[in-house]
Structure 1
């Protein structure tokens, strides 16, 4: 913990930025255009191939973000919890001001302004994980590699199938899933990285590309022939308990752990990653974000130009969010 606070590892901070950009790109796919149906794939196969590949290559974003937390073995601090809790309030206040100035529809009633603050599933789950980190770290310290490996094996053997059967685990959109990812991140840092040190760095990225690409191509191809398959494929792909996604996220983590980088700019940009999520997923503006993505698709016929426009929008939101959140970061140190 002290090492992290004194000198942030820019390679992992870069991964944090990448993970959040993946979140924002993810929400330009199915979230903006709707979940695919076989008739749509048959009518516009290339369009939906692009959307499907966008979805599969970015869906590991949340898992990566939580794995980073586990990699560093984050320790609970009261100020850290306060900062996590304050950011949604601050962002909602700023966005409410923006909505008013932009002439967009304002919320009605007090709850209309309160609801955006607690409507983030990720914030609630991550805050619960943060509160549990002292116990999780103590468990890791008292366990040897074999014990931790057995626990993770049993954890995922139980939670992965159960998450697709029972609503409680919400397919990984929950604190329970985050606990497993946190411990997996610790295991990879303490034992996994050393065990795989003979692997060249490129293999981890290749593993990510092959796993996610294969999943996307299979889903797209089979989905064109069967709505029944497509109906089962989409919930599997978007689930954070998808074992393929978990393995791919771990591969991405190990790839970036081999990167040698130290940059103040990267560290500063990484400080705004959480804020970028809060801004574009706040319910005061979320529908407008999705609608604007669709609007860009309508007015820009060229796919490369559309992609550049979306990337520019995402980068602008990210940088503005980073600048805006510095008030909270500097106030609650």
Structure 2
């Protein structure tokens, strides 16, 4: 959600690169861009167990929440009822959520990817990952527009992340055994480098498209390094919290609820209007509080979805 805030501001507002607003925007963007990669790394680390019921549950979650938020917006006057929008919330969900179709295809491919890790030696897996990311890095540096990995907005990029997560969990290689402090330090180095690249490209007068291609990129070297080592740091924390797990189980739902077409437009307009009303030093603390509140509300909505799904299963199996 925070990363989408930075995206909204950069699209809808003129931001001075060297001003405090531009510096804060680029810094927060450099930190929050790791979100998608970490989600897929977690999936790979624990492994996706492909089952028909799990696939049905995932599809139900997307469609139910899309229709729910669309219905609320129509009822409150922020959206209008039309067949096109209903289509995008049901049969056309892939046109609305790039992450859904990319992750769903990863879900389908998971048994093959799991078998690859289980049936290959550590050396073979390492060779594959090295070749995969060497190729991705080559594409990143030699093409202006990435038509292969699509900046990481594609299942092809998710496959590498998933296998990397499985590799870390199964083999626990030496480079993953650094202290939490060192993991955080490497994460911060990646963030600082990404931040510096954003500032340099901005000062050199690079166009918005090329900046988006190179900096808003999930497979860029800085994003990959930051993602992996922040993920590794959290794998070493030894604690259990029922509350955190309760909210974490709805993280995917939060994405669905605020990225539905009409909700996304409202979200972007809301962020931009607040951004234009106050200085950045007040805006960012305020927007973080607002996002926390929204996250809690969206998680509670997802619990309604879970209740409805479980009740439907009971009714189906009762027959």
TM more than 0.5: yes
Question: What corresponds to 1:28 in structure 2?
Answer: 5
User: Structure 1 residues 196 and 274, CA, compared in 2 at 3 Å: closer, same or farther?
Assistant: closer
1:124 maps to which of 97, 101, 114: 101
Whole-angstrom distance in 1 between the partners of 2:207 and 2:189: 21
Whole-angstrom distance in 2 between the partners of 1:274 and 1:187: 24
Question: What corresponds to 1:300 in structure 2?
Answer: 278
Question: What corresponds to 2:260 in structure 1?
Answer: 282
Question: What corresponds to 2:317 in structure 1?
Answer: none
Whole-angstrom distance in 2 between the partners of 1:26 and 1:78: 32
- Decide whether the 8 Å contact of 1:222 with 1:230 is kept in 2: no
Measured on the aligned residues, the alpha-carbon RMSD in Å equals 2.1
- Decide whether the 8 Å contact of 1:36 with 1:230 is kept in 2: no
Shift of 1:111: 1.9
The answer to whether residue 69 in structure 2 is matched with residue 98 in structure 1 is: no
2:216 maps to which of 238, 248, 256: 238
2:86 maps to which of 81, 105, 113: 113
Shift of 1:249: 0.7
Stretch of structure 1 that moved more, 265-274 or 310-319? 310-319
The answer to whether residue 166 in structure 2 is matched with residue 186 in structure 1 is: yes
Whole-angstrom distance in 2 between the partners of 1:106 and 1:158: 46
In structure 1, runs of 5+ residues without a counterpart are: 1-23
Shift of 1:234: 3.2
- Decide whether the 8 Å contact of 2:50 with 2:108 is kept in 1: yes
Whole-angstrom distance in 1 between the partners of 2:220 and 2:68: 35
- Decide whether the 8 Å contact of 1:219 with 1:230 is kept in 2: no
Whole-angstrom distance in 2 between the partners of 1:137 and 1:53: 36
- Decide whether the 8 Å contact of 2:187 with 2:227 is kept in 1: yes
Question: What corresponds to 2:37 in structure 1?
Answer: 63
The answer to whether residue 183 in structure 2 is matched with residue 204 in structure 1 is: yes
Shift of 1:162: 3.4
Shift of 1:135: 0.8
Question: What corresponds to 1:318 in structure 2?
Answer: 295
The answer to whether residue 59 in structure 2 is matched with residue 85 in structure 1 is: yes
**1:28 partner SS:** helix
Whole-angstrom distance in 2 between the partners of 1:204 and 1:258: 10
Shift of 1:230: 6.4
Shift of 1:69: 0.4
TM-score, with length taken from structure 1: 0.84
In structure 2, runs of 5+ residues without a counterpart are: 314-319
Count of aligned pairs: 303
**1:75 partner SS:** coil
User: Structure 1 residues 124 and 248, CA, compared in 2 at 3 Å: closer, same or farther?
Assistant: same
User: Structure 1 residues 160 and 83, CA, compared in 2 at 3 Å: closer, same or farther?
Assistant: farther
Stretch of structure 1 that moved more, 27-36 or 65-74? 27-36
